[in-house]
Structure 1
Amino acid sequence: MLQHSVVHRLPQSYRWGTGSAKLSVEPLPLVLNGVADDDDLIGLSLLSHQGEQAWDIMQMIKEALADIKLECAVVEWDGQPCLFVTRHDESATTCRLKNFGVGIAETWRNHSVL
């Protein structure tokens, strides 16, 4: 089921919500110098599945990451299940997901040549 899944990175950085043990997240304000803390979180959302199936897929992804000792949590964000990992684990996360056949959607930028 994972090999038919596609995720994309949410556009902001996040942190764990106050007073919760990885039960909620909140967006971080924009960083002025463009440098973020290693404790900042990145979020991944599914493009390929919706509803209950999306929650099931995200739990499978979480388990795949737990197999390699990556801490993460599945939290509802904007009505959808999203996976949150620390910024310094982003590369390992995407590598692991690609090894399972999960597609990673990238922002496509059109760079015009003058």
Structure 2
Amino acid sequence: MNTLQHSIVSRLPQGYQWSAGFAGSKVEPIPQNGLAGEDNLVGLKLLSHDGEKAWPVMYKLSQALNDIALECCVVECEGEPCLFVNQQDEFAATCRLKNFGVAIAEPFCELPR
């Protein structure tokens, strides 16, 4: 069974950047007043798997992106494995994941009443 076809990811709500001296292994949220830069990262978190079961799935997602030369890293964030891609690669990354059958959860905007 292809575990990617049963995976659901969600974008983390804030932007991230690599922690100083820890590029590729540790991230930190960009402050609210921080400027958007070309090194900003977008994080994707699994909703369909958690705990130890999430790590192998995240590595498979990472491999799917690496296969098309998209740089990404699986890094622990808030106790869970998260997949981080450069902000400018977000749409290519989510398109690639959708092609593998991964569902991308989108936030709902409440309509005015």
TM-score, with structure 1 as normaliser: 0.92
1:25 corresponds to 2:55: no
How far apart, in 1, do the equivalents of 2:71 and 2:32 lie? 24
SS at match of 1:23: coil
SS at match of 1:84: strand
How far apart, in 2, do the equivalents of 1:64 and 1:97 lie? 7
1:68 corresponds to 2:68: yes
TM-score, with structure 2 as normaliser: 0.93
Give, in angstroms, the shift of residue 52 of structure 1: 1.5
Give, in angstroms, the shift of residue 98 of structure 1: 0.3
* 1:4-53 deviation per Cα after TM superposition (whole angstroms, max 9, x unaligned): 00000000000011112311000001147xx6222100100000001121
Letter in 2 for 1:38: E
Identity %: 56
SS at match of 1:61: helix
- Aligned length, in residue pairs: 111
How far apart, in 2, do the equivalents of 1:5 and 1:79 lie? 19
Q: Which ranges of structure 1 fall in alignment gaps of 5 or more residues?
A: none
1:13 corresponds to 2:15: yes
Task: State the 4+ residue runs in structure 1 displaced beyond 4 angstroms.
Answer: none
Q: Which ranges of structure 2 fall in alignment gaps of 5 or more residues?
A: none
How far apart, in 1, do the equivalents of 2:107 and 2:14 lie? 13
